[in-house]
Homo-oligomer: A and B are copies of this chain.
């Protein structure tokens, strides 16, 4: 009874309340999921540990856990994987700078799966190897919104934005060390981007980046 699930959020905001998994016990999560399923809402838990995800999964019939993403989805029926778009016109592109950023990209992709929005994924095309981005530009220009995930100095969103007219949601990651200050450097860099069409969400917030891009696509 310490949780008051916001069951009206789906009606007001278009999607239900995602469950922030960090620091929550399996018991608390199960109680919230039950309340959501009862209302015919799908559940998405983010930032959940493998142990808690496993324990929660034992209580429901239809679950989809992604350990790299640290997400768990639960529904009253079979859950499909996120829609990997190759031909749709309307989709979100999820881009990473380095291979170590993939976990955060996976959180974004799972969120788009939960929202029912198609996605195309581009991995490890950061600025140190510029030909990788150049090769991707023509396909990137087909997306309706982009989620660009990068750690270290976080330069990739600025560089992508130089080629693209769709809105970009930049997700800084905590990948790096020393002066990267746990992702604060990438965050600040993205906020002061010399490119105009870039907005930013919290460090490692793959969920928020995807949610925002998903809303854009739905408008």
Contacts and interface: CB of A to CB of B under 8 A. Distances in A.
A8 B131 contact: yes
B155 A178 contact: no
Interface centre among A22, A99, A164, A185 (most CB of B within 10 A): A99
B128 A162 contact: yes
B194 A179 contact: no
A158 B189 CA distance: 13
Contacts of A179: 184, 187-188, 191-192, 202-203
Contacts of A79: none
Given A179-B203, A194-B152, A199-B201, A165 B12 contact: yes
A72 interface: no
Nearest to A165: B14
Interface stretch (A48-56, A59-67, A209-217): A209-217
Interface string A126-170: 111111100000000000110000001111001101111111010
Given A24-B99, A130-B159, A199-B212, 18 more contacts: A2-B96, A9-B128, A13-B163, A98-B194, A126-B194, A130-B162, A153-B154, A159-B159, A165-B218, A177-B205, A178-B192, A178-B202, A179-B202, A181-B188, A185-B191, A188-B188, A196-B208, A198-B212
19 contacts: A2-B99, A4-B125, A4-B132, A9-B129, A18-B196, A24-B99, A127-B162, A130-B163, A153-B189, A153-B193, A155-B189, A167-B216, A177-B202, A178-B182, A178-B183, A178-B191, A179-B192, A185-B189, A191-B202
Interface of A: 1-4, 6, 8-9, 12-15, 17-18, 20, 22-24, 28, 32, 47, 96-100, 102, 123-132, 144-145, 152-155, 158-159, 161-167, 169, 172, 174-205, 207-209, 211-212, 215-219
